[in-house]
Amino acid sequence: MVATTSCFYYAAPAALRKTNHLRQNQLRLDIFGNNATTRKPRNGLVMCSNESTESESEDGWGIQDFIGGDLVKFDLGKWLSDVEEHKSLAIYTPHEGGYEGRYFTRLRYQGYYFLDLSARGLGDPETTLTKVHPVCPAHVGKQPIARWYFPPEVDFRLSVLPPNAKGLIVWVIEAKVLSKAELQFLAILPELRPKVRVIAECGNWRKVVWRPLKEAAGLTEGALSN
C-alpha cells in the first residue's frame, strides 16, 4: 500500500495530491469525529462522604473514585463493635475481592488469631470444629483406604493460643454453599466457645456489608425466609 501510494503521488500533479490529502482528512473527521467538538465535558461533583444519597446525581463522582474505594472506609469502628456485640457475622463482599482484607487486618490488630476455612469440603461443621473427626486421605491405585482421626479444629487452636490473645476468629469463605442448619451451628458456636468469633462470607454485594449471622440463618425474628 505504501509503495502504491508513493508511485501515485510521484506521477500525480501537486494539485491532485493536495486534494487527496483534504479528502483523507475529511474522511477521518467523519469516521472518528473531531475531538474538540464531539468529546463531552466530564463535570461531576467530588463528594467526601462514603454514603450515597438520593439527591446525588447519577454521574456524580465520589472521592473513592480517585484514591480507591477500599481506602475510604469509615465503618471499621462499627465493624469491631458489631463483632463484639453479635459474635458471629455474615459478611457480603464485592465480586472482585480484596476489600475484606482491611476488616481482617483490623481484627488481627486487636489481638485475634485466625482459623481460615473453606465451606467447600468442610463436612459437618459441628463434627469438624468441636469433635474428634475422621479424615480419609486420598489413596493411589491399589493402596488400602485409610482413616485418620484429627482433633477438633477449634478446640485444638484454643488450647495453643498465646496468653495475650484476645480470641479466635473462625473465618469461613464460600459459606453461601452451606445449608441453613450448618449456618445455624456457626451462629451459635460463640455461645459454645466464648472466646470464638465467627465471620462467614455468605455472598457478594457492591460494597462490604454485614449483618448478624443469626439473622442470615433464620434464628431471629424478621430474618429472611431463604
Pairing verdict, β 88-93 and 61-62: unpaired
196 and 86 in contact (C-beta within 8 Å)?
no
Torsion over CA: 223, 214, 184, 125 (sign): positive
pTM of the entire predicted model: 0.67
Per-residue pLDDT of the chain (226 residues; tens, 9 = 90+): 444 443 333 344 454 445 555 555 554 444 444 544 445 554 544 444 444 444 444 455 666 556 555 555 678 889 999 999 999 999 999 888 888 888 999 999 999 999 999 999 888 999 999 999 988 887 777 778 888 999 999 999 999 999 999 999 999 999 999 999 999 999 999 999 999 999 999 999 888 899 999 999 988 765 443 3
If one looks up domain 68-125+160-216 in CATH, what number appears? 3.40.50
For cell 469502628, the residue is: 77
User: What is the C-alpha to C-alpha distance for residues 106 and 80, in angstroms, rounded to an integer?
Assistant: 8
CA distances from 141 to 135, 144, 148 (A): 18, 9, 19
User: What is the C-alpha to C-alpha distance for residues 135 and 221, in angstroms, rounded to an integer?
Assistant: 38
Secondary structure of residue 30 in the 3-state scheme: helix
Secondary structure of residue 225 in the 3-state scheme: coil
